[in-house]
A and B are shown apart, each in its own frame.
Chain A
Amino acid sequence: MAGKGAKVVQKKQKITMGLLWKQRYLLMMSLPFVIWIIIFKYIPLWGWTMAFQEVKPATFAIPIWERPFVGFENFIKAFEDRLFQQTMINTIGISILQIAVGTVVAIAFAVLLNELVFSGFKKVTQTISYLPHFVSWVIIASIAKNIFNDGGVMDSLAGTNLHLMSTNSPLIWLVIVLIECWKEMGWSAIIYLSSMAGIDPGLYEAAQIDGANRFQKIWHITLPGIRPTIVVLLIMSIGGALNVGMERQMLLSNALVQDHTMVLSWFSYMRGIKSSDYGLGTALGVFQSVVGVALLLIANKIASMVGEDKLV
């Protein structure tokens, strides 16, 4: 894997003062960043202990080892919270919808783009399809308001008020997922397209000689050819099923639909930072991470059971 110029890995060196002095410039160029990453990435990991302690603004100043230890009380409090159940339903509902619709749309886009023979048009289409990916969620939310709000473009096309963003029901999940698809379709197709580029052209030629038509070639060559990619991406997205980002949810939400847009990360923020119950908020974060790892392992296991390559 290492490039052509990389040195042959040397035998294990002994760390001596002389060697450290010789490499002082390398040390000076890297040590500050190691300290930086320990502060900003490793100390927060240590913060996981707060999930098992009672931590409120008043007790935050107390050293970690002296804070009251409460066992799993924060977790119990979180699970018994009146919003918890609905939050979990929303998180899982949006995730499943997102994985299903997002995957199908991206694959369809990639397959059809791959079939497009007008190369100039293909390039323009692909470039334009990336545009929404680079635009921030705040801007997307502002644009989405024009389209989906009462009196917006959709209502104007339908000639009636569809209440797309003002119905307190899981309809908002669909709206959010459609916006996400619109934003990421072209971008998430890239990985499938590059996977298609790796399919042996000989297969298509052989199919041509055997008299296969376009659809048969897509069904029997292209889709099976990208199956490993699809499986890996599915396993990863199932592993991240609870990590529905707070930013998008918050920006696309409004007071009317908030019951159905609240997701785990946002809930953790509300309880942890807005209500200043740091222990409870951290417990929710820990729950999210632990379930995420469990889901990843389960998805991986299922994939290997049905005869697919494993991810880990």
Chain B
Amino acid sequence: MKNLHKTWFDYFLVVVFAFILVITLYPFLNVLAISLNDATDTLKNINFIFPRKFTLTNYKYVFEEGGILQPLFISIAKTVIGTLAGVICTAMLAYTLSRRDFVFHKLFTMIFVITMYVGGGLIPEYLLIVRTLHLGNNFLVYIIPGLIWVYNMILVRSFIDGLPIALQEAAKLDGANDFQIWYIVIMPLCTPVIATIALYYAVGQWNSFMDTYLYAKKLPTLQYKLYEIMSQATMQLDTHTTTNATQAVTPMAIRMAVTVVATVPIIIVYPFVQKYFVGGMTLGSVKD
């Protein structure tokens, strides 16, 4: 299909995709440049990707007075704990459901898979979590309700299905119980799939916003903090023009610095993540 002879169309496509790359990257570079630019200078015009008057004042302000240390800490704690708990629980459950000789294998699998298609919806879940279980403004609300994603469980289970059964049988003959088989034999072999789902959970936890918004406004994450900064700015019609010039930082500069802080971990991680994500996505449906 591909011949070595290149036509004008091939070069035209390069131009098209170069344009797409510019459109994709420009907004990010713009944010970075504004966050590193002198706040009052930014007021003149925000359309630039190289800082005109370089400064670190915005970051200094954000970390010293902007009150993002607590949200940053909560975001990190939630990501680390949520990912660890999610991975361990998912892997454990996936192993038991991969065991075709387990008496409840069919029943339990069905109970989990059904929830991928039907859900109670926002209000009943809200009432359960806040009114019945009293998890509002409790750190556990970040961990427990979203503990296991059924899709991740199926990914791990189908990976375990592909492992040679002889390993488990050998361990059994050596007197290992089912928990030991999982922990000693299965888990070390599952590293690739564990890495995949760990990244899924981590990105999901870091990015989530609605959980804070609905259940735990008193435990703001970085995403929620950014939302707060944005909604304050909206009230003043996003002040590029109204801040007095004596102030060293503006709401916009603060917003940009926080945006960068919240984006950087994703930008660092995602090139590694994406190959796993793409793999998981094209793995397709897994049936029993």
Residues of A within 8 A of B210 (CB): 246-247
B53 to chain A, nearest CB (A): 18
Q: Which of B28, B148, B164, B208 contacts A143 (CB 8 A)?
A: B28
Contact pattern, A 10-49, Cβ under 8 Å of B = 1, otherwise 0? 1001010001100101111110011011111111111110
What is the interface residue range for chain A against chain B? 35 or more
CA distance A44 to B271 in the complex (A): 37
The residue in chain A whose Cβ has the minimal distance to the Cβ of B177 is A25
Knowing A7-B101, A23-B178, A128-B25, the reply to whether A45 touches B124 (Cβ < 8 A) is yes
B90 to chain A, nearest CB (A): 9
Among residues 122 to 178 in chain A, which have CB atoms less than 8 Å away from a CB atom of chain B?
A: 125, 127-132, 134-139, 141-147, 149-153, 156-157
Residues of A within 8 A of B36 (CB): none
The reply to whether B13 and A115 form a contact with Cβ atoms under 8 Å apart is yes
B126 to chain A, nearest CB (A): 6
The reply to whether A139 and B227 form a contact with Cβ atoms under 8 Å apart is no
Interface residue B158 (Cβ < 8 Å from any Cβ of A): yes
Residues of A within 8 A of B124 (CB): 43-48, 50, 282, 285
Query: Interface of chain A, helix or strand or loop or mixed?
Result: helix
Residues of B within 8 A of A150 (CB): 237-238
Knowing A26-B96, A40-B145, A182-B23, the reply to whether A5 touches B31 (Cβ < 8 A) is no
Of the listed stretches B76-84, B190-198, B274-282, name the one at the interface; the rest are far from the partner chain: B274-282
CA distance A115 to B13 in the complex (A): 8
CA distance A47 to B264 in the complex (A): 40
The reply to whether B108 and A34 form a contact with Cβ atoms under 8 Å apart is yes
The reply to whether B179 and A281 form a contact with Cβ atoms under 8 Å apart is no
Knowing A47-B127, A247-B210, the reply to whether A153 touches B47 (Cβ < 8 A) is yes
Among residues 230 to 251 in chain B, which have CB atoms less than 8 Å away from a CB atom of chain A?
A: 230, 233-234, 237-238, 240-241
A5 to chain B, nearest CB (A): 4
Pairs A-B, 5 closest by C-beta atoms: A44-B120, A47-B124, A3-B162, A285-B121, A136-B207
Known: A5-B166, A136-B262, A153-B27. 14 other contacts (CB 8 A): A10-B100, A26-B178, A29-B95, A30-B96, A39-B128, A40-B128, A45-B124, A48-B121, A116-B14, A134-B273, A138-B230, A143-B30, A146-B34, A278-B127
Using a CB–CB cutoff of 8 Å, the interface residues on chain B facing chain A are 1-2, 6-7, 9-10, 13-14, 16-17, 20-21, 23-28, 30-31, 34, 45-47, 89, 92-93, 95-97, 99-104, 108, 111-112, 115, 118-128, 131, 144-145, 147-148, 158, 161-166, 177-179, 182, 203, 206-210, 214, 223-224, 226-227, 230, 233-234, 237-238, 240-241, 255-256, 259, 262-263, 266-267, 270-271, 273-274, 277-278, 281-282, 286-288
Using a CB–CB cutoff of 8 Å, the interface residues on chain A facing chain B are 1-7, 9-10, 13, 15, 19-20, 23, 25-30, 33-34, 36-48, 50, 60, 109, 112-113, 115-118, 121, 125, 127-132, 134-139, 141-147, 149-153, 156-157, 182, 186, 190-191, 194, 201, 204-205, 208, 214, 217, 246-247, 251, 254-255, 265, 268-269, 272-273, 278, 281-282, 285-286, 288-289
